[in-house]
Chain A
């Protein structure tokens, strides 16, 4: 199993060609996707056409960059011109975007090849990919378990080697938690680091696009291609983008690493805790200075999130009305009835729940008590991190309190929400967070290690993750699929 950087080297030496590699991936997808169900749409023809173009460039000695000819998978929440973008929802099932998201245009300009669109929890709402309106995705390490979510299809595709890397989106942990469950690297960049033009909106003050890859260098290469200001997204910032791969080798000697006490809680999986504690020792052995820090409002972050995210979602999802695009219910005798039926038939249970919760939190009489309160608590969560980052350069903790659970195990919505208790605070504070393989349970399930950085300091996250990866074997393991 190659990495993005390794395949690039083989392309440039002529040992491998993009058409050969893409054909092999398409064959592998055909053989294994029926079990893993990572892809919702496979874009065979366009992938082969893109591969031929990449091959010509490579043969002419003029590749577009280090991603030229690299086959990737894209979460179905990101608009792709001419390729159906259903977002895991019946209401968008017929939707074919007339334009590309900025991240897709940038990957195209870098020569990357899109193998297909990956399955996800409907509108990115969920932590297991079981909320897809179409089918659940399976965890490649144990097909009876979930891959995490909501970017479960992207994580499973990378873990099962059905793509070399992928894009996902992360509103409350939707890149990092599936990365942890599937044993891949997943990075949520700082809010504003990557353009969201063409990302189907869930909660606009939290959503961020980021990469999955099998190793840290791969994630750095994808981030390099997609990061930076975009005039089409006014929330993307003009902060300069550094050279991420150049930062990888800088080591962590003397780096101050904070260990937040609140991220080691009662009830968490003891194997997860043991693996994360062992990883902290590895970082120490590499010369990092670790110290305990406190993020006292951690316990309130989840509650604040489940007001803020549904409130924003209820507003964003008001656009699905059966008028300009998407599904429309038949038989509505007037416009109001058509709206109500279209949305009742088009949305799944979790999306309806969040629309209801958000509408309730924003409604007259409840706004200040719920939404206003949550925004104030958000300030407290942000301050916790600001104070910690006065003393340390990054934080290390588990990505999730457990490893991948069995399909159907978390039918109670609140139990599902609690999966994201360690990832949500990072979104509320707008910080970059990275999950990387940090060990395995005795039964062979991956454990995720989370690194949290200062705003726009993805370079430090990547360099620390890279240093850890170089001295640990976890990323070299692959699930057995046949």
Chain B
């Protein structure tokens, strides 16, 4: 609701953007890399005299050869076993340190849901054994150092960004936080109060409802990824739980570091070693991320929310994992279907042909630890929601039955190949990408073979994977919105209806749960 004081970004964030922001548009940091590039040849000869061609296809472009950075050039193994990726970049007097910690929400004991997120947050917010939370915050703020910590589904993170001249003081604070969190009780009480207040608002926003119910429809209620915190589970978490969680999982020998910016590699390695010296830590084995055992049930599901005028819809089913050899063809297939922005079929038909939605698209999830899901989604006014669902069904059928055009295939493949250098656009991205690969154990040849694998995808491959991995009989359709209005027939377009889409199956209604207990009332 309120604007930040960073003037330009405040107005920038407030602007109404034209389309779905491509991932990380604002966050991306395109800048120098240490990768080898060959700059395009400068063609100055009479360029301003030459005619402007009638169409850009007549423009000639110099070749651009690009070799991705080599992982091993930046990889270092520390004496305690931790792995660090260090990428120097001296353009600005800043240093960025990220630590990946092998932990996650998946390790929470049952009935203590929330302990992972609370631990992650309180490591930063709750002070250290030698500094109260107030003293720690003042020290970090006076240094103008940004220090953060958090624990997500399958990973813990901690970050330091400070001026390079302050790196020693910055690292001292940062490692003090990682190693000796104080977990100050008043800060924990405050965090719990904030979480409980947010919890009450669980049924307010259709976006929140949509993603929660979708995850439940895909992976049931037993998988860690769909477990919900409740008032009882948050209240059950004690300071001792946080101490235990930290002790068990913050094992420096299992850390993966990504360090980039204005430093000397040799010196930085020594600083990391010193920072972790004499850190007695647990060596307990950390279990693997569990896979869901739930089979989604196809059909139409609705959640009623009275005072919104748009239906939010996801259509989809279980997807696959990223180590699937078909993943490259799947990415191209999805790009053509709905992943490729304006040029994709769903965007073109739902948005630009019919004006039914501001954004429409699809994503073929390639999970790291377990199959993610395929989902096509949009938001449209109540009256036209069923019509747009119909278009998604048609397009899923079409990409299975008909080969994609050469033009579509070329667009999708070229884009994937040409955009490739952007993965390593900055020193922070190089270090971050390799650290993430290390953490998730991605095959080392992934980046060096990526473009060739994309190049080899054919129209036949696209159709084959569409037939194999898009399953019309397994589609789950979730509609969140004013269901009374959405099920009313559209006076301007009566042939579309939810009932028709459901066919002989009944439309199942999902009630809104009690936000504090997550108990769902019975549907009459």
Chain A bound to chain B: no
Query: A-contacting residues of B (Cβ < 8 Å)?
Result: none
